[in-house]
Amino acid sequence: MNGLPPDDSTTPGARTLRDVARLAGVSIGTASKAMNAGGRLSAETRAKVLRAAKTLDYRPNDLAQSLHRARSMTVGILSTDSIGRFTFPIVEALERRLFDRGIAIFMCNATDDPLRERRHIEQLLGKRIDGLIVTARRADKRAPIVPVARGLPVVYVFSYVDDPEALCLLPDDEGGARLAVSHLARLGRKRIAHISGPRHFEAVQLRAKGWRAALNEARLPVVDAKFLSGRWSEGWGREAVETLFGRGRDAPDALFCGNDQIARGALEALKDRGLSVPGDVAIVGFDNWNVMTDATRPPLTSVDMNLGALGSEAGAALLEMIGGKPLAGVRRLPCSLVVRASCGAHGPIA
C-alpha cells in the first residue's frame, strides 16, 4: 500500500507532495488542494491527505511552491458591503503589510450584490491573483466565496463563514465586553446596564454574553431587562436612557454601550435628565472612534477592536497561505479598553 522507496522513510524532512499523494492514494493535484485551504474536496479526502502528510512529517516548501505557482504578486480585497469606517483601518494595515512584501492589492466593492460579487471574483481570477481577502462593513456571517475552489488562499477578516476549512479573523467581541464591564465593576458600579445594536448581529450577541459573564464574575445580578437591543445610533442611546431611567427606582449606575454613538446619545440624555457622568452614571462605549470619544463631555472610555492589528494579521496569514501553509479556523484577536473620564476611573466629576 505504501509505495514509497525505503530510503525516503529515513529522511522525513525531505518528503515531497508526491510522497503524500502516493501514501493517501490520490493525485498530486488533489494532494495539493488538500494542503491548501479553500480547495473544493470532500472532508474525507482532505482528512486522508492530511493524515498522510502527518505520517510522513511532510512540510510544504514555500519557495518551491511559489516558483511552481508563478505568482502574480497581486491579491484581491473583496468587500461584501460598502467600505466603511471599520474596513479602512483593516485595509490600510493589510495593504501596508503586503506592500512591504512587494504585493499589490486589487480593491473590489461588491456592495452586497451576489451577481456583482461573482463578476468581481471572475475578474480577479482572470488577473491570476495569488490570494483573496474578504471583508465586510460589520463582522457578520456571510456565504463562503463559491468560485474560489481552485486552491486559492482566502482569508475572511471582520467577516466569517460557516466553513471549518476557512480562516476567519475577528475581534474578540465577548472579551472586549468583559474588559469594559469588569472595569466598571472594579470601580464599584453595581447596576450595570447594556444598551446595544440590533440583536441579529453576532457582535451584539457576543457583547451581551461578555456583559453577562463579567457580571457573574463580579457577583453582580444579571437582570435581563437591563439589556436593551435597538439601533446603532445616538437616537437609540437617548431612547434607551428614557426606558432605563424613566422607571424611577433601581436605575443603573453604569451603562456599557454597544458602540460609541449609542454611548454619546445616552450620555446626552442623562445630562438632559440632570444626571452627571460619571458622577451618577458611568459610561463605556465600543469602537473607540475618536470622532465620538473626543467630542463627548466628559471624553468617552471605549473598547478598541484593534482593527489595524486585525488587518496586519490577515495580511500575515494570507502570506503564509500563499507560501503553502494551510490555515483554517476562527481566530479572535483581543480588544483593549481605552480609559478616559466617562467611566469615572479618574474620580467622579460632580
The residue ranges that bind its own copies (CB under 8 A) are: 74, 77, 82-85, 88, 91-92, 95-96, 99, 102, 104-109, 119-120, 123-124, 127, 233-235, 261, 264-265, 291, 294-295
- Shortest reach from residue 88's CB to its own copies, in Å: 5
Q: Evaluate the CA torsion angle 270, 211, 135, 169 in order and state its sign.
A: positive
- Shortest reach from residue 238's CB to its own copies, in Å: 9
**Residues pairing with 135 in the sheet:** 79
The residue among 55 and 109 lying less far from its own copies, judged by its C-beta, is 109
State the amino acid at position 76 in one-letter form. Answer: G
Neighbours of 251 (CB within 10 A): 16
Count how many residues are written for the chain. 350
Three-state DSSP class for 181? helix
CA angle 33, 56, 4 (to 5 degrees): 95
- Shortest reach from residue 105's CB to its own copies, in Å: 5
- Shortest reach from residue 268's CB to its own copies, in Å: 9
The residue among 120 and 183 lying less far from its own copies, judged by its C-beta, is 120
The residue among 85 and 150 lying less far from its own copies, judged by its C-beta, is 85
The residue among 309 and 337 lying less far from its own copies, judged by its C-beta, is 309
Contact 262, 227 (CB under 8 A): no
Three-state DSSP class for 238? helix
The residue among 227 and 232 lying less far from its own copies, judged by its C-beta, is 232
Q: How far is CA 7 from the centre of its chain?
A: 46
CB under 8 Å, gap of 24 or more: what pairs does 122-126 form?
Answer: 122/147, 124/76, 124/78, 125/150, 125/152
* C-alpha cell at position 179: 474588559
- Shortest reach from residue 280's CB to its own copies, in Å: 19
Contact 193, 184 (CB under 8 A): no
The residue among 76 and 326 lying less far from its own copies, judged by its C-beta, is 76
- Shortest reach from residue 79's CB to its own copies, in Å: 9
Reference 142, options 122, 123, 157, 152; nearest CA is 157
Contact 57, 318 (CB under 8 A): no
What is the maximum span of the chain, computed from C-alpha positions, in angstroms?
84
The residue among 2 and 276 lying less far from its own copies, judged by its C-beta, is 276
The residue among 19 and 234 lying less far from its own copies, judged by its C-beta, is 234
- Shortest reach from residue 106's CB to its own copies, in Å: 5
Q: What is the layout of strands, in order, in the sheet containing 282-286?
A: 227-229, 192-196, 254-257, 282-286, 301-304, 336-338
The residue among 45 and 66 lying less far from its own copies, judged by its C-beta, is 66
- Shortest reach from residue 294's CB to its own copies, in Å: 7
The residue among 108 and 180 lying less far from its own copies, judged by its C-beta, is 108
Instruction: Give dist(CA 346, CA 343) in Å, integer.
Output: 8
Pairing of the two strands 282-286 and 254-257: parallel
- Secondary structure E strands in 81-186: 104-109, 131-135, 154-157, 167-171
- Shortest reach from residue 321's CB to its own copies, in Å: 20
* C-alpha cell at position 326: 494551510
- Shortest reach from residue 251's CB to its own copies, in Å: 23
